[in-house]
């Protein structure tokens, strides 16, 4: 159906920046700059500066950023890696594809890892932790980093949904051994296909991932250092990402304004639980605006009937997908989140009028 309020509006996004996108693409193609050229190096430098770190390495997707980070950190068969169950499956698959065992822990009402649950799950086999900064909000990184330091664990941040978000003024991707970003088209910073990057302050990790993404080869010497992967960020995507990165601070501001407007219009309606604003250490980037209600399925149907497109991340706990062969970790908050969350339309193109229409439809439902 044609929604009157779409979840995101890719056509409008393209229309607004068409000239800049097309200039970047045509120049790159006309120069024959297809693989690992200046556009990729420029984007990597701009991303590192944006995140406040010394290195960024472009890779083929957010999944590859996670997988190659774990490999660079030496995670292998027999190791355990702690993460949350309330995440996109790629976080967990990256662990499994290293031969390691994912240990899934509970999230709090901010949808992010509970630091105490992380600490309780540590065993002698634990090698690393992947805190996932979900929906554009950072995990409590002060607490997570201090547990990780105490137990000598590697921290790989899954920042796929949180580019530009901060806690205590520090950006996503600047805390752990690496930060992992996704440029899937509907992310805060999206390219025109798949793309991703890692950020790090460790030149050795940056070097290892630069080799891992190119089949293990050191491009300077031609030496293969290990069996790697074909997992580059395409040069033409990097050119587009540079254009978009220059607009990103304004887009994030817009998302915050939209979130503030939802908050104003939805506070106190029905049994709705809205994203929290009561801790000013956090500045969220609002990849998603997620609300929670026990009447989620009925509300969602009502919104669809009213022309409002919504999404649910994710309707069932990941361990219920039997083929993935994950042990049921018995996480009751994760289970109720799966039953109760719905994400409202949110993008750099979402308008005040659209927010008002969505809020009005929600108020009608609860009236
Ligand atoms: C939390 C999280 N982790 C990892 C990923 C994987 O990123 P990609 O789709 O670029 O592989 C995503 C993206 O969907 C994500 O939302």
Has residue 176 got a pLDDT over 90?
yes
From 161, 176, 196, 314, mutation site for ligand 1 pocket: most ligand atoms within 8 A of C-beta: 161
**pLDDT tens figures, 159-174:** 999 999 999 999 999 9
Our answer on whether the CB atom of 61 is closer than 6 Å to any ligand 1 atom is: yes
* pLDDT for residue 2: 83
Largest CA distance in the chain: 69
Mean of all residue pLDDT scores within the chain: 97
Q: What is the mean pLDDT of residues 114-139?
A: 98
Our answer on whether the CB atom of 160 is closer than 6 Å to any ligand 1 atom is: yes
Q: What is the mean pLDDT of residues 302-316?
A: 98
Of ligand 1's listed atoms, the one at least distance from the Cα of 182 is 10
* pLDDT for residue 101: 98
**pLDDT tens figures, 237-269:** 999 999 999 999 999 999 999 999 999 999 999
* pLDDT for residue 62: 98
Our answer on whether the CB atom of 309 is closer than 6 Å to any ligand 1 atom is: no
Burial class (CB in 10 A: 0-12, 13-18, 19+), 35: exposed
Place of tokens 């193609």: 29
From 66, 90, 165, mutation site for ligand 1 pocket: most ligand atoms within 8 A of C-beta: 90
Of ligand 1's listed atoms, the one at least distance from the Cα of 132 is 1
Our answer on whether the CB atom of 234 is closer than 6 Å to any ligand 1 atom is: no
Our answer on whether the CB atom of 293 is closer than 6 Å to any ligand 1 atom is: no
Our answer on whether the CB atom of 237 is closer than 6 Å to any ligand 1 atom is: no
* pLDDT for residue 272: 98
Determine the distance separating the centroid of ligand 1 and the alpha carbon of 84, expressed in angstroms. 14
Our answer on whether the CB atom of 90 is closer than 6 Å to any ligand 1 atom is: yes
Our answer on whether the CB atom of 69 is closer than 6 Å to any ligand 1 atom is: no
**pLDDT tens figures, 70-126:** 999 999 999 999 999 999 999 999 999 999 999 999 999 999 999 999 999 999 999
Has residue 277 got a pLDDT over 90?
no
Strand order in the sheet with 126-129: 55-59, 196-200, 178-182, 154-158, 126-129, 80-84, 101-105
* pLDDT for residue 51: 98
Strand order in the sheet with 170-171: 170-171, 166-167, 282-283
Has residue 1 got a pLDDT over 90?
no
Of ligand 1's listed atoms, the one at least distance from the Cα of 287 is 16
% the chain with pLDDT above 90? 99
Of ligand 1's listed atoms, the one at least distance from the Cα of 183 is 10
Q: What is the mean pLDDT of residues 306-327?
A: 97
Computed from CA positions of residues 262, 267, 273, 278, in that sequence, does the dihedral angle turn out positive or negative?
positive
Q: How many CB atoms lie within 10 A of CB 322?
A: 7
Determine the distance separating the centroid of ligand 1 and the alpha carbon of 137, expressed in angstroms. 15
* pLDDT for residue 278: 79
Determine the distance separating the centroid of ligand 1 and the alpha carbon of 220, expressed in angstroms. 31
Q: What is the mean pLDDT of residues 30-37?
A: 97
Determine the distance separating the centroid of ligand 1 and the alpha carbon of 64, expressed in angstroms. 9
Our answer on whether the CB atom of 182 is closer than 6 Å to any ligand 1 atom is: yes
* pLDDT for residue 191: 98
């Amino acid at each position: 159906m044609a929604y009157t309020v779409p979840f995101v509006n890719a056509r409008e996004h393209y229309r607004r920046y068409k000239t800049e996108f097309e200039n970047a693409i045509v120049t790159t193609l006309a120069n024959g700059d297809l693989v690992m050229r200046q556009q990729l190096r420029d984007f990597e430098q701009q991303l590192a500066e944006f995140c406040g770190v010394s290195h960024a390495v472009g890779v083929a997707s957010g999944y590859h950023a996670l997988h190659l980070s774990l490999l660079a950190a030496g995670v292998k068969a027999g190791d355990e890696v702690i993460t949350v169950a309330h995440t996109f499956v790629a976080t967990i698959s990256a662990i499994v594809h290293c031969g390691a065992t994912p240990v899934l822990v509970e999230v709090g009402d901010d949808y992010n890892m509970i630091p105490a649950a992380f600490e309780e799950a540590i065993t002698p086999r634990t090698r690393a932790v992947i805190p996932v900064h979900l929906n554009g909000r950072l995990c409590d990184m002060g607490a997570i980093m201090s547990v990780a330091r105490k137990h000598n664990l590697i921290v790989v941040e899954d920042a796929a949904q949180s580019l530009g978000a901060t806690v205590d003024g520090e950006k996503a991707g600047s805390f752990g051994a690496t930060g992992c970003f996704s440029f899937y088209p509907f992310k805060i910073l999206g390219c025109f296909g798949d793309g991703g990057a890692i950020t790090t302050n460790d030149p050795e990790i940056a070097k290892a991932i630069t080799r891992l993404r190119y089949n293990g080869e050191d491009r300077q010497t031609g030496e293969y250092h290990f069996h790697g992967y074909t997992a580059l960020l395409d040069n033409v995507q990097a050119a587009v990402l540079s254009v978009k990165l220059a607009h990103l601070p304004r887009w994030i501001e817009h998302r915050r304004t939209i979130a503030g407007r939802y908050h104003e219009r939805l506070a106190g309606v029905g049994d709705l639980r809205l994203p929290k604003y009561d801790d000013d250490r956090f500045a969220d980037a609002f990849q998603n605006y997620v609300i929670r209600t026990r009447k989620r399925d009925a509300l969602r149907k009502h919104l669809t009937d009213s022309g409002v497109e919504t999404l649910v991340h994710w309707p069932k706990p990941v361990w219920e997908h039997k083929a993935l062969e994950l042990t049921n970790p018995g996480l009751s908050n994760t289970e109720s989140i799966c039953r109760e969350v719905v994400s409202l339309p949110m993008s750099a193109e979402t308008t005040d009028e659209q927010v008002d229409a969505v809020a009005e439809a929600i108020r009608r439902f609860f009236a």
